[in-house]
Chains A and B, each alone.
Chain A
Amino acid sequence: MSGSVTDATLASIRDEVYVRSSGVGTAPPEGTNMTTTDTPVDNGVNVEALLGARAALTDAPAAAQFQWRATCEWVNGTHSHSTVESFFGLGEEQGHRTEFEYDADHPEIFASEDNGATPVEYVLVGLASCLTAGIASVAQHREIQLRSVKATLTGGMDVQGILGIDPQVRNGFSDIKVSYDIDADASPADLEALVAQSQKRSAVYDVITNPTNVVVEVN
């Protein structure tokens, strides 16, 4: 699948993407009345940059190959500390603006110290933030001004699975429900379409709803 691509092609794609993304949309000034129809829709998403990247990567599948990374270190008990900083894409090493850190633990009712959200809660956070980012992007593209977007998530789980009580019960969520409250200049049908399209293009939604091969090795 990964077509060969020359360094020159990669360099020109990077120029294309970087130049376009340098002018990332700014949030509207506070107090701006966004309901007036002649105010340009601005959800803070640079759709031009995204479309430019899409066009540039269409004929260069190699440059579209990204790798996302995280490291995790055990602290004590069920408490662990994870960091996210570098990733790979557009044919070269990339880095976040800064290193991001996350503590995960289990709550006290599991005899843990509760130093952070549980790993499964991070999954919900990942899903919610992915879908919400998608909603903002698709809304920008469809010229829908968002005023507020709020998601409430629930993930049902029968812990008889992880506790090894019943082998018939799976470890993971039995179901996930995402409920959106959206205030925007759009009809209910358009909002439904917006949320549906966001699911269609969401990486985390795909990760959760479809099987993924996972390799865990010990060095």
Chain B
Amino acid sequence: MSGALTRRSIDHVVLERGSVAHSWKTERWDSLRLLTPNSQTRLPGATYDGDEPDGFMAVADVIAFVERYAETVDAPVLGDTTVTSVRAAGDGYDILTGQGRWHARAVVLAGGACNVPTVPDYATALPSTIESVTPDRYKNPDQLADGGVLVVGASATGLQLAEEIHRSGRPVTVSVGEHVRMPRVYRDEDIFTWMARVGLLDERWDEVDDVVRARNVPSPQLIGTPERRSLDLDALTSIGVQLRGRLGTIRDGVAMFSGGLRNQCALADLKLNRLLDTIDERAGEAGYGEPDGPERCQPTTVGDPPLTLDLASGEIRTIVWATGFRADHSWLDVPVVDHKGRVRHDGGIVSDAPGMYLLGATFLRRRKSSFIHGAGDDAEDLAAHLAAHLATR
């Protein structure tokens, strides 16, 4: 956004609570790599020119990439400046920070969609002998007590942590709710390369059937590794990880799981096949040829998992809450959030607050909006709207 504003000669400042790429420096686990391939780790004017377009950047590489980009676009970043309040004032907004007050005619909310880990209410009923960890505080298995680990959540984070922790010798049980299954490689290409090729990542918020549903889709079960392997529930089962249904509640120290795991897996398998069918259809139309033959994953194997787990028995020592994140807009003193604390917006334009914009949210304007390479188009669109807004005043 800073680059897009600079190209339009719009005076601006970027307020940053820490330093550039702060959350990448402080809230990521050691082994993490991006879910998108290097070829898609790009921003306007900064495309990947290395020799591993199908590789995946580690956290240190991502930090370097973002820092380099901040220099490239000469972003006027004010570090160590935490915004404590934004409120409407005059022809724009007053912004209070720990380092003083600003007035701006336009404000872009680009604090990210994953500020606070969401942990279910019943986590408070956890026996005191069990330690809770959220992914923003997790670094590696060594920080966990020896013994069993319950990982709650089966999206990318849950599955990656489950595998890593299980391989460290701590037996892992994963509680699986709604999830999105994807192979890493399909017809010899990265699944995201296919999704980009056939236009799925460019689908717009005002064109999809149900944008609310699209925005609530969990992150796909993927991992970025040099060998480009898939990570799904069957892969975890094969190394001895135990699967359970969605965690419903904790009562009298007993974790109670849903009996609906079979359907959760059936839904994920059906949706995966629909995605691959769509890719095949559109790939033909886009000139990438027809598949040689059907390349489909085996249906997920679901046994007859127990419905309860006694958390007081000592079998489980740690619970990892891979149950998602939410944005924190508690500092926003402008009435633009709904009853669930989400900013009401139309493709990033905060209609109830002229001159206010949201950036970086899931499916903000396009399916790729929350991806690194999705920021460019969204920022360009919103910068154009912002410039028009300033011109009309």
Contacts and interface: CB of A to CB of B under 8 A. Distances in A.
Physical interaction between A and B: yes
B224 to A, nearest CB: 29
Nearest to A194: B270
A208 B307 CA distance: 12
Contacts of A61: 339
Interface in A109-150: none
A200 B339 contact: no
Nearest to A1: B339
B251 A59 contact: no
Interface string B322-342: 000000000000000011000
A164 to B, nearest CB: 20
Given A3-B339, A59-B338, A209 B259 contact: yes
Interface string B145-166: 0000000000000000000000
A70 interface: no
Interface residues on A, range: 10 to 19
Contact of A199 (B212, B256, B263, B274): B263
Contacts of A208: 259
If over half of A's interface residues share one DSSP class (helix, strand or loop), that class is named, otherwise mixed; here it is helix
Contacts of B249: 211, 213
A202 B363 CA distance: 27
Nearest to B267: A196
B273 interface: yes
Interface centre among B258, B263, B266 (most CB of A within 10 A): B263
B248 interface: yes
B308 to A, nearest CB: 9
A189 interface: yes
B171 interface: no
Interface residues of B, number: 19
Given A196-B263, A196-B267, A209 B339 contact: no
A178 B6 CA distance: 61
B248 A197 contact: no
B202 to A, nearest CB: 25
A3 B337 CA distance: 12
A192 interface: yes
A206 B178 CA distance: 13
B273 A205 contact: no
Nearest to A2: B339
B260 interface: yes
Contact of B260 (A58, A193, A199, A211): A199
Interface centre among A61, A197, A200 (most CB of B within 10 A): A200
Contacts of B270: 189, 192-193, 196
A4 to B, nearest CB: 9
A211 B338 contact: no
A36 interface: no
A58 B286 CA distance: 38
A197 B267 contact: yes
A33 interface: no
A1 B246 CA distance: 22
A57 to B, nearest CB: 12
Contacts of B339: 1, 3, 61
Nearest to B263: A199
8 contacts: A196-B266, A199-B263, A200-B267, A210-B246, A210-B248, A210-B258, A210-B259, A211-B251
Given A3-B339, A209-B260, 13 more contacts: A59-B338, A193-B270, A193-B274, A196-B263, A196-B266, A205-B260, A208-B259, A209-B259, A210-B246, A210-B248, A210-B259, A211-B249, A211-B251
